[in-house]
């Protein structure tokens, strides 16, 4: 098999695996229900990501507060 055909067949195999996984995901998620409550894995991922996002927002607010306080503390007025 020529190198270009071998490369093309490898690329087609890779994209077919990716698209079949994507199609399965879309078919699974394509419903009228927003979240399937029996899908424990998805609910776990959503809870963990929500927890990390809350921690991230709170730490950003704390850093902003701290920088404002430090700037006021070092003013030469």
- Residue 29: the pLDDT is 57
Residue-wise pLDDT tens digits, 30-50 = 555 566 666 778 888 889 999
From the CA atom positions of the chain, what is the Rg in Å? Answer: 25
Q: What is the pTM of this model?
A: 0.45
| Rounded percentage of the chain residues whose pLDDT exceeds 90 | 23
């Amino acid at each position: 098999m020529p190198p270009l055909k071998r490369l093309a067949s490898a690329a087609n195999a890779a994209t077919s695996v990716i698209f079949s996984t994507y199609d399965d995901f879309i078919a699974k998620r394509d419903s009228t229900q927003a979240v399937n409550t029996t899908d424990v894995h998805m609910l776990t991922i959503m809870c963990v990501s929500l927890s990390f996002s809350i921690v991230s927002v709170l730490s950003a607010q704390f850093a902003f507060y701290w920088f404002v306080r430090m700037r006021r503390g070092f003013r030469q007025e």
